[in-house]
C-alpha cells in the first residue's frame, strides 16, 4: 500500500482490417488502469486520418459509448492512462501526444521518465521550438518530428532520436500506416506484444492488457528494441539492443505490475510470493496469523505463511470502488483515502499475534493508519514485514520520488520507524534477495537505485517533477 506513483500505461493495436479498434484500446486501458489514474486518451487512425479524445480522469470517466463511437473505425489505434511524473496533472499533458506535420501525422504514448529532458527541451526552445505541454513526452515527439525531415522512415527517425534520449521510455507510436513499439536500451519499464485470433497485433505495458482483448502474448520487447507493425508485417530493429546494461525496475515486480501479468518472462504473482518466502527466512517471528495489505501485499503474505508455517488469514478488506491510494497527490487526501479504502477483519486479528505484509514503507503515514486499524480490531501484536528494502534514494525513471528527504528511512532507523508506525517489530527484505524474486536466482540486470542510490544512468541536473513549470521566484529572475 505504497504512496509511490508510477507513470503510465500504454496500449496499441494494429488490425488486419478496418474495425472498432477504439473499444479494444478502451478495454486494454482498463486492464492497465493501475498504472495511471489521472488521465486517459485514445487516438484512432482511419487511413491516415487521426481522431482522438483525451481528458482528465479514469478510463471509465473519460470514455463512454458516445465518445468511443465518435472516434469511428480504423485499423490502428493507441491509448494511454497517465500518472504525472514529469509535468503537472493538467489536461494539456494528457496523452497521447498528437502531432500534425507535413510528413504525416503522428501520435505518441510514453511510459517512463527522461533524465535529460530539461537539457533537450532547452536546446529545442533556443532553436525556435514552441511547447504546449510540460511533459517530457512532447520533447520526444519534437525530436522525432525534427528527424523525420531527413530520415527515410519514421522508424529511422526514431533510431536517430534514441541516440540522444537518456533514461526510461517505453513508447507506443502511430504513423499513418504503422504502429511502432519501443523500449529504452536499459529496459527500465515493461512493454510486450501479442496477437489475437483475428491476427490483430496488440502492444501493451503489461501482458494483462493483452489478456483483456483476447491476445496471446508473443514476447516482451528487448531493451533497446524497436518493433514495427505495418501492412508488410512485423519487423524488429535492434540497432540499440545491447548498447546499455539491462536495468529493469525491480519495483515492477514488487508493486507496479498487476499480479496476473508476466513481465520479461517472470510471473509477477510468483515473484511476490517468493519475496514473502525470503522475508520469512530473513525475519522470522512467532505469530498466530499472516495477513497482507491488499492488493500487492497479498501474494507476499501467502509466501510468508507457506514458508513460516504460520496460517494465512484475510485480515484487511479493501473497498474495491476506491482507487489505489498512491493517486492522491496531497498528504491529507492520501490519509482520507486510506480511511475509505481499508477495514480490518476483527474475526481474523482479534487477540492474535499478527504478521502484516506490505510492499513498502515510504513516508510511514499509510502504514501507521493500517496498524491503527488492526489495533482497533483487537490485534494483540503486530509484526510488520516489507517485501522491499528501505527506500532511501530518489527515482529518476518514472516513479514519483524526486525528494529523498520525504523518505522515512532516511531520517529514522528500523527501530525508530517501528515505533513511529506502532508495530512490535519490523523487517525489510534485503537488496540481495529482492533481485532474486523474479526467477529465484541471483540475477543481475535490475535497477535498485531507490534502495541503494546506485543508478544506471547519470543523475539529472534538474530533478523536480515540475521542472518545466517553475515560478519566476524559483528561477531567480
Alpha helices in 221-330 (DSSP H): 251, 268-282, 296-308
> How far, rounded to the nearest angstrom, does the alpha carbon of residue 424 sit from its chain's CA centroid?
32
Rounded to 10°, the helix 136-148/154-162 angle is 120
Q: List residues with catalytic annotation.
A: 8
How many Å apart are CA 337 and CA 433, to the nearest integer?
32
- Would you call the peptide bond into 295 cis, given omega within 30 degrees of 0 as the criterion? yes
List the one residue out of 190, 225, 228, 229 whose CA is nearest residue 208. 190
Q: Which three cell numbers stand for residue 157?
A: 527517425
How many Å apart are CA 256 and CA 186, to the nearest integer?
18
How many Å apart are CA 326 and CA 200, to the nearest integer?
34
Which helix (DSSP H) or strand (DSSP E) does residue 238 occupy?
none
Q: Which three cell numbers stand for residue 177?
A: 500506416
Q: Which three cell numbers stand for residue 216?
A: 496471446
Q: Number of C-alpha atoms within 13 angstroms, CB side, residue 57?
A: 9
Backbone angles phi, psi at 86, to 5 degrees: -135, 115
Q: Could you give the 3-state DSSP secondary structure of residue 372?
A: helix
Rounded to 10°, the helix 414-421/365-376 angle is 50
End-to-end alpha-carbon separation of the chain, Å? 41
Q: How many residues does the chain have?
A: 477
Q: Specify whether the CB–CB gap between 62 and 54 falls below 8 A.
A: yes
How many Å apart are CA 32 and CA 86, to the nearest integer?
19
Amino acid at each position: 500500500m505504497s504512496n509511490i506513483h508510477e507513470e503510465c500505461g500504454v496500449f496499441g493495436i494494429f488490425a488486419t482490417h478496418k474495425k472498432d479498434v477504439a473499444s479494444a484500446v478502451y478495454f486494454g486501458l482498463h486492464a492497465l488502469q493501475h498504472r495511471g489514474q489521472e488521465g486517459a486518451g485514445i487516438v484512432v487512425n482511419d487511413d491516415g486520418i487521426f481522431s482522438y479524445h483525451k481528458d482528465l480522469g479514469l478510463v471509465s470517466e473519460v470514455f463512454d459509448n458516445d465518445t468511443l463511437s465518435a472516434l469511428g473505425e480504423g485499423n490502428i489505434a493507441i491509448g494511454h492512462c497517465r500518472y504525472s511524473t514529469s509535468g503537472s496533472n493538467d489536461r494539456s499533458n494528457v496523452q497521447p501526444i498528437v502531432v500534425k506535420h507535413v510528413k504525416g501525422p503522428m501520435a505518441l504514448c510514453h511510459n517512463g521518465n527522461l533524465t535529460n529532458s530539461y537539457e533537450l527541451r532547452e536546446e529545442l526552445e533556443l532553436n525556435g521550438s514552441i511547447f504546449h505541454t510540460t511533459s517530457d513526452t512532447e520533447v520526444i515527439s519534437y525530436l522525432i518530428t525534427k528527424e523525420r525531415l531527413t530520415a527515410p522512415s519514421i522508424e529511422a527517425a526514431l533510431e536517430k532520436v534514441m541516440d540522444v534520449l537518456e533514461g526510461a521510455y517505453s513508447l507506443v507510436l502511430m504513423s499513418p500506416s504503422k504502429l511502432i513499439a519501443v523500449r529504452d536500451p536499459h529496459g527500465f519499464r515493461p512493454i510486450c506484444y501479442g496477437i489475437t485470433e483475428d491476427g490483430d497485433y496488440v502492444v501493451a505495458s503489461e501482458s494483462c492488457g493483452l489478456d483483456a482483448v483476447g491476445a496471446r502474448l508473443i514476447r516482451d520487447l528487448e531493451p533497446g528494441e524497436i518493433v514495427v507493425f505495418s501492412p508488410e508485417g512485423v519487423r524488429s530493429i535492434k540497432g540499440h539492443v545491447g548498447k546499455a546494461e539491462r536495468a529493469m525496475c525491480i519495483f515492477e515486480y514488487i508493486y507496479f505490475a498487476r499480479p496476473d501479468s508476466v513481465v520479461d518472462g517472470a510471473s509477477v504473482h510468483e515473484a511476490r510470493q517468493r519475496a514473502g518466502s525470503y522475508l520469512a527466512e530473513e525475519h522470522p517471528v512467532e505469530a498466530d496469523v499472516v495477513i497482507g495489505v491488499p492488493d500487492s501485499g497479498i501474494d507476499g503474505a501467502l509466501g510468508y505463511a507457506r514458508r513460516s508455517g504460520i496460517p494465512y488469514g484475510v485480515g484487511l478488506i479493501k473497498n474495491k470502488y476506491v482507487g489505489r491510494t498512491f493517486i492522491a497527490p496531497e498528504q491529507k487526501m492520501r490519509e482520507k483515502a486510506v480511511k475509505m479504502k481499508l477495514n480490518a477483519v476483527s474475526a481474523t486479528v482479534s487477540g492474535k499475534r499478527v504478521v502484516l505484509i506490505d510492499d513498502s514503507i515510504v513516508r510511514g503515514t499509510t502504514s501507521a493508519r493500517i496498524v491503527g486499524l488492526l489495533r482497533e480490531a483487537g490485534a494483540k501484536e503486530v509484526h510488520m514485514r516489507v517485501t522491499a528494502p528501505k527506500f532511501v534514494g530518489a527515482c529518476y525513471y518514472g516513479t514519483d520520488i524526486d525528494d529523498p528527504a520525504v523518505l522515512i528511512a532516511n531520517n529514522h532507523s528500523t527501530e525508530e520507524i517501528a515505533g513511529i508506525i506502532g508495530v512490535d517489530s519490523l523487517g525489510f527484505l534485503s537488496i540481495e534477495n529482492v533481485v532474486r524474486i523474479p526467477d529465484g536466482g541471483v540475477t543481475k540486470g535490475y535497477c535498485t537505485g531507490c534502495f541503494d542510490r546506485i543508478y544506471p544512468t547519470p543523475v539529472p541536473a534538474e530533478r523536480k517533477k515540475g521542472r518545466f513549470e517553475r515560478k519566476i521566484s524559483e528561477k531567480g529572475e
